[in-house]
Amino acid sequence: MIGNVILVDIALFAILLAAALGIAHTRSLYSAAMLAGLFSLTCASLFVVQDAVDVAFTEAAVGAGMSTVLFLGTLALTHSRERVTPPTRRVPALLVAVGTGVLLIYASLDLPPYADPANPVQQHPLTERYLQTSQQEIGVPNVVTAVLASYRGFDTLGEVAVIFTAGVAVLMLLGRLRGNAAGSPGTAPAGGLQGEHRVLRVVAKLLMPFILLFALYVQFHGDFGPGGGFQAGVIFAAGIVLYTLVFGLGHARAVVTPGILRMLLPLGLLLYAGVGVATLLLGGAFLDYNALSPQDPVQGQHLGILLVEAGVGITVAAAMILLFYAFAGRGARS
Amino acid sequence: MWLALALAVLTTMALALARALLGPTLYDRILAINLFGTKTVLFIAVAGFMAGRPEFLDIALVYALINFIGTVAVLKLSHYGEFSRAEELQGDDL
Amino acid sequence: MTVVLVASWALITAGAVLALTGALGLFRLPDFYTRTHAASITDSAGASLLLLGLLLQAESFAVGIRLLLIMLFLLFTSPTAAHALAQAALKDGLKPVLGRAARR
Amino acid sequence: MIASGYNYWMAMALLIVGLYILMSHANMVKKLLGLSVFQMAVFMLYISLGKVRFGTAPILDSSITVYSHPLPHVLILTAIVVGIATTALGLALVVRIHEAYGTTDEDEALALDRKPDAP
């Protein structure tokens, strides 16, 4: 059994290493960006093999849906070829990298053996709490969701705040469109794929409702299977990205207007923090969902997780769509 | 049995990666990466069965839906900028 | 039960062989357009057969419906992507390799 | 017993490649790509630490007794989404630098700065 996993692990790692070296070697930045997409696909496969299904889910949605698109969008706005890297840059970098590697390998000798059930992590009382007691305390089968939204809810609030801040910062940098550059459909580059890509447009139209529906399913099914607000937000945004790519920025902005998105971006964060304030007012600690339903704490936990995950989903989706609009909008102007 | 299947799918992925690295044109790379994505969907499905918990097919499902976006993005963004010039494609060295 | 299992593994094997052939074709064929054949045709057939094989081993409705949906989406997206790519390449002026040059 | 750390070493090897890309290349988009490789390597290291032999995903089911540790999953899940948000910020900066200097190359931009009539 463990032998199987080693073989699969090593095969995946070989693919990852080849892709990473390919990124280092190629001078065409388009190729490098696409290889990075491939790299993240393989990483997600590795996460599945290592039991981290929720992480794989997030990586799948982010790596395939958003990250590649943002890199390609940037390249479309800038240069897509790289200069030849001179040896004066290569040699010191190689030395530092190899030195770091040696130090890391040396440090890894002190790490506990891989996947050993006797590891300190597995023996820690917190593991017992998460995997056993959480069923009585929270009653959500997906422990990752329980830890994310409830036990470590305060941490997650901080993460959502970071996403919000990054979204605002990108909007400040790339700003809104000036004048009439909003991209009437058909004008490259902000326009859609016209004429020649009829098949693509029909299939994209067919796929769109499924992507959005699937995002909602992921949002609300996160208690029972892999999924939750982060994944759902990114998948929803990916659906809108597909629509924008195929039908043009003008059409997309008419359907999902930036004004609404700019309201939703802080709204999700406020919803999250608002749940915390509500629990404070009801006499509990900040983000202590038991206070939401004192007679039946598990019910309170369920309500709290639902609201908090909704907040996460709203902010992440709004942030991702706004990020993409910002890059696509720059293309329309220049 | 499952292991053999997983390794077969991984071999397919490795061959696709080889084509993605070799090129020679950017279209070859896009094609190879598209194939790689489909094979990742299969690998995740197989890995779910291999681990005895096939209910995690949601991840494969999200790939099947979203892998398409990457290809569309390359096609869309290739229609302006330096990318669409034929000599750029032909002369793309690795 | 065993009949289903044998049928399932037969389908899975066929799918895996097709997928491998497709990847080999992608690796060996001379130019982009021929590679599109190898990638898209064997890819959609290989993936569908493999997923059908898995479907026969699905224990619950939830697993089965997901496998069916994956198959459906792959059947839609994979040929579309190949078609759009080939069309874009042709528009871009990428010439197919013809005649003797193709028989390297 | 030495081989018991193979998974950590794989993550570390990728980390080194990421670090090398980040330091050696002057192109800022390439730097960000290297940064994301580096980031993924760190994520892999974390996930490796939570894995248990014969364990399975921490989604509870009455028929299963051994689960991998959920805590690294939680940390990395949020880190991935934060990672893409910060990468997007970096890319936005690259776009602005390109608008101001006409290049995405670090060395060229710095050379322009050193000239007396810098933009």
- pLDDT score recorded for residue A191: 54
- The nearest CA of chain B is from the CA of D111 a distance in Å of 24
Query: Which residues from chain B sit within 8 angstroms of residue A64, using beta carbons?
Result: 37, 63, 66-67, 69-70
- pLDDT score recorded for residue D65: 79
- The nearest CA of chain A is from the CA of B86 a distance in Å of 14
- pLDDT score recorded for residue D67: 84
Q: Compare A173 and A176 and report the one with higher pLDDT.
A: A173
Mutation target vs B (from A13, A40, A41, A247; most B CBs, 10 A cutoff):
A41
Burial track C38-50 (b if 16+ CB lie within 10 A, e otherwise): bbbbbbbbbbbbb
- pLDDT score recorded for residue A120: 81
- The nearest CA of chain D is from the CA of A308 a distance in Å of 14
Determine the Cα–Cα distance for residues D92 and D77; give it in Å rounded to an integer.
Answer: 23
Give the residue-averaged pLDDT of A173-202.
57
Give yes or no for A316 touching D (CB within 8 A).
yes
Determine the Cα–Cα distance for residues A48 and A56; give it in Å rounded to an integer.
Answer: 6
ipTM for the whole complex: 0.89
- pLDDT score recorded for residue B89: 37
Query: Which residues from chain C sit within 8 angstroms of residue A203, using beta carbons?
Result: 76-77, 80
The amino acid present at A181, given as its one-letter code, is: A
The share of chain D scoring above pLDDT 70, in percent, equals 95
Give the residue-averaged pLDDT of C48-62.
87
- pLDDT score recorded for residue A26: 85
Determine the Cα–Cα distance for residues D31 and D24; give it in Å rounded to an integer.
Answer: 8
Nearest neighbour of D8 by CB, restricted to A43, A67, A108? A108
Maximum pairwise Cα distance, chain B: 50
pLDDT digits (tens, 9 = 90+) for D88-102: 999 999 998 888 888
pLDDT digits (tens, 9 = 90+) for A74-115: 888 887 777 777 888 888 889 999 999 999 888 888 888 887
Tokens linked to A167: 């979204």
Q: D22 vs A87, D19, D25, D26, CA distance in Å?
A: 15, 5, 6, 8
pLDDT interval class at D118 (50, 70, 90): low
Give yes or no for A205 touching C (CB within 8 A).
no
Give yes or no for A89 touching D (CB within 8 A).
yes
Burial track A190-224 (b if 16+ CB lie within 10 A, e otherwise): bbbbeeebeebbebbeebbebbbebbebbbebbbe
Determine the Cα–Cα distance for residues A103 and A110; give it in Å rounded to an integer.
Answer: 12
Strand partners, A142: D59
Is B83 a residue whose pLDDT tops 60? Answer: no
CA within 13 Å, CB half, A230: 32
Contact B70 A68 (CB under 8 A): yes
Residue D4's SS3 state is helix
Determine the Cα–Cα distance for residues A115 and A102; give it in Å rounded to an integer.
Answer: 23
- pLDDT score recorded for residue A178: 47
Query: Which residues from chain B sit within 8 angstroms of residue A225, using beta carbons?
Result: 55-56, 58
Give yes or no for B60 touching C (CB within 8 A).
yes
Question: What global pTM score does this model have?
Answer: 0.89
Query: Which residues from chain A sit within 8 angstroms of residue D29, using beta carbons?
Result: 29, 32-33, 71, 74-75, 78
Using CB atoms, which chains have 3+ pairs under 8 A with D? A, B
The amino acid present at D36, given as its one-letter code, is: S
Q: Vertex A95, ends A93 and A99: CA angle to 5°? A: 115
Q: Is the bond into B24 cis (omega within 30 degrees of 0)?
A: yes
Is B16 a residue whose pLDDT tops 50? Answer: yes
- pLDDT score recorded for residue A19: 92
Residue D116: burial class (beta carbons within 10 Å; 0-12, 13-18, 19+): exposed
Is A24 a residue whose pLDDT tops 60? Answer: yes
Nearest neighbour of A43 by CB, restricted to D44, D59, D79? D44
According to DSSP, residue A114 is labeled: T
CA within 13 Å, CB half, B3: 11
pLDDT interval class at A184 (50, 70, 90): very low
Is D43 a residue whose pLDDT tops 90? Answer: yes
Nearest neighbour of C87 by CB, restricted to A196, A203, A210? A196
Nearest-CA neighbor of B3 among B66, B46, B40? B46
pLDDT interval class at D68 (50, 70, 90): confident
Tokens linked to C21: 């052939």
Given a contact cutoff of 8 angstroms between Cβ atoms, the answer to whether D15 and D41 are in contact is yes
Is A289 a residue whose pLDDT tops 80? Answer: yes
pLDDT interval class at C103 (50, 70, 90): low
Judged by average pLDDT, the poorest of A240-244, A280-284, D10-14, D112-116 is D112-116
Give the residue-averaged pLDDT of B58-87.
71
